Chain A
Amino acid sequence: MSVGLTLENVTKTFSQGAKSINAVDDLSLEITPGEFFTFVGASGCGKTTTLRMIAGLESVSSGRILFDKEDVTRIPTQGRDIGMVFQDIALFPYMSIRENIGYSLKVARVPKKEIDDRVERTAELLSISDKLAMKPVQLSGGQQQRVAIGRAIVREPKVLLLDEPLSALDARLRTEMRSEILRLHRRINSTIIYVTHDQVEAMTMSSRIAVMEGGKAVQVDRPRSVFRYPARESVATFIGTPAMNVWDASLDGTGDAPRLTWSGISVPISREDAQALQGLTKVRLGARPQALKLVPADEALLEATLILKEPLGLEDECHLQLADGLELRLVGRVPDSVAEGSLIHVDIDPSDFCVFHPETGAVLRHGLNDKNIKAS
């Protein structure tokens, strides 16, 4: 039976001597039953602390945590009916796989026969049925993590918490386990709260993600929305590979012909755009590498030197340099005939631009309105 979670003004303060830091700062959000919810962010952003507070492994300095309508803020971990998977796996090395998976049932004094049944069903779900008699040390990292997941889900907890469960695994295994966890989520249908620093994991697995920064959730939304409509420059550059290109541009040509200029390129913008940017003389302009398109010279917005080409298989990741030294990334198909060092022509669709505030980093505009922006 899965539950929804509510975090109400949750704050975690760590004090070091006279100094105190809010690792999690006044965080409020709702997680609906059955959701795959991911906290993503760089290390030190408060994502793991948040998860540990939900688990009860870390006390809450102020605020409340609710499972459905029940306030669990003061309930210790063992009373919360959760399942948890840890980054360092943490199986009991002296117990067999069978004992590891069945541990929570043994603690709950479930009859032996039923424990066996449920352990076997869980092992089947995770394709480790043939490993039940072994000890953890005899298993590979991926198999161990499956056992850890089995141990967490066997008693069908209200909520399943996963703390960077894949970061101890190698790249190929990580991709495999990613889809495995997703398939599991579809089958057991429980609420999953997932913590990762890997934005690809966050993007590919989650129903919704919370991007954490300095103890705050700076954006909570569906992965596609976060990608398409980042709330801040920091979110825009964190989510998506390679990172979004962001550079300085100045805003001038007031009145009837407002325009953004940078690197000798001038782009007219609509009146609505100008209104949104009112009062500013400088902005940060962003465009995803995938939005940069190779075009014939007469359709180009800008001209750049191809300084480095990294083939990704179907596409290439290209490092471009403009005349004044500004570097941009482009991801797309680049013909083999275009070699490093050659001059290429690039266009960016106006709707693909993001405009951010130069100081606060907050987004001001997702896409520029004028359909006919071209270099003039």
Chain B
Amino acid sequence: MSTSDSSREGGWVAAAIGPALILLLLTAYIPIIYALTLAFYNKTAFNPEMDFVGLKNFFWLLKRDDLWMALGKSIVFTIGSVGFQLAFGLFFGLLLNEAIRGRAIMRSLVILPYLLPTIVIGLVFRWILNPEFGVVNQILLFWGVVERPINFFGGLDVAMSSIIVTTGWQYGSFAVLLILARLQSINPRLYEAARSCGAGTWRCFLDVTLPNLRTTLLLIALLRGIWMFNKFDLIWIITKGGPLQATETLPIYIYKIAFQDFNFGRAAAGCFVMFVILLVVSVIYFRYFNPTKEIEVNR
């Protein structure tokens, strides 16, 4: 290829990806960089000036008990919700993979929660789990499981579990889809080989299904883990972090600093902290599990 050809090709490449890159720069990268630099300034809604304060925002933040409590809540919420989603995905994935009646309809139904807007899910669950009118409490009372209605989103000890189940239900279908897709691509000959070696149903699950799902489960855990760690909307819609601070995860806490205290500098420092935590966890994850390598070996 001559020089003029390759330079012309370079021109085409620039023309093709240039606009997208500029758009991304304007709408994503510049705001992100601006937000992160805010962490080093004293910037409040009432002060038009921006004073450089160095690491002061970070020192303030790291000394707050609220931050560490929110971090703890975030970890509980992330692990709980991702765990619920994996269990949900595994159960329905395996169920829908079987040749059962109405499988096609079930498969379409299972994806529905994923398509619903978060605001709808938030409101619906608030009604379903409402202590006075909610259908769940009515059923529990009717069957005599409980004597008094449970205040699912208002009780200090149950609010977090209720939030976990709600998000788990909403995003579990994502796990179902990925797991189902993987299950269907497992070579049926592997099951036959295992059975010819004397393996029953349980051993087939342990020695064929699980190893084949390993990569998928790890991938869901990573993707959903990041998502859930950053999750804001559903928690805000349902509990706003309450009761007291029972469901106040990091994003909720940072939102409150920004839009209740109107201290954008400190909120930006909080975002910076979250970003670093996710970065460190992701690096560790890839060092230990490396999902892409798994896929290569399994081919």
Contact = CB atoms under 8 A, between A and B. Distances in A.
Interface of A: 55-57, 76-79, 81-84, 86, 88, 90-95, 103-104, 107-108, 135, 137, 148, 151-152, 155, 161
Given A90-B189, A92-B190, A103 B197 contact: yes
Contact of A107 (B189, B203, B211, B298): B203
A55 B195 CA distance: 10
Contacts of A91: 193
B207 interface: yes
A77 B197 CA distance: 9
A107 B192 contact: no
Contacts of B48: none
Contacts of B211: 92, 94-95
Contacts, number: 72
A76 B197 CA distance: 12
Contacts of B79: none
B195 A78 contact: yes
Nearest to B192: A57
B192 A77 contact: yes
B193 A90 contact: yes
Interface string B190-202: 1011111111100
B197 A107 contact: yes
B198 A135 contact: no
A151 B192 contact: no
Give the interface centre of B196, B297, B298, B299 by most chain A CB atoms within 10 Å.
B196
Given A77-B196, A93-B298, A103-B199, 11 more contacts: A78-B198, A83-B197, A84-B196, A90-B193, A92-B193, A94-B212, A103-B197, A104-B197, A104-B198, A135-B297, A148-B193
A192 to B, nearest CB: 14
A92 B208 contact: yes
A78 B198 CA distance: 4
B196 A83 contact: yes
A152 B192 CA distance: 12
A84 B200 contact: no
B192 to A, nearest CB: 5
B73 interface: no
Contacts of B214: 94
A90 B192 contact: yes
B187 interface: yes
In order of increasing CB-CB distance, the 3 nearest A-B pairs are: A104-B197, A90-B189, A84-B196
A283 to B, nearest CB: 46
Contacts of A79: 198
A89 to B, nearest CB: 8
B193 A107 contact: no
Nearest to B200: A78
Nearest to B210: A94
B207 A92 contact: yes
B198 A108 contact: yes
Contacts of A76: 195
B99 to A, nearest CB: 14
Contacts of A104: 197-198
Contacts of B297: 93-94, 135, 137
A82 B199 CA distance: 12
7 contacts: A55-B196, A78-B195, A78-B200, A86-B192, A88-B187, A92-B207, A107-B198
A238 B207 CA distance: 42
Contact of B187 (A55, A57, A77, A90): A90
A152 B196 contact: yes
A77 B195 contact: yes
A83 B197 CA distance: 7
Contacts of A81: 198
Contacts of B299: 93, 137
Contact of B199 (A78, A84, A90, A161): A78
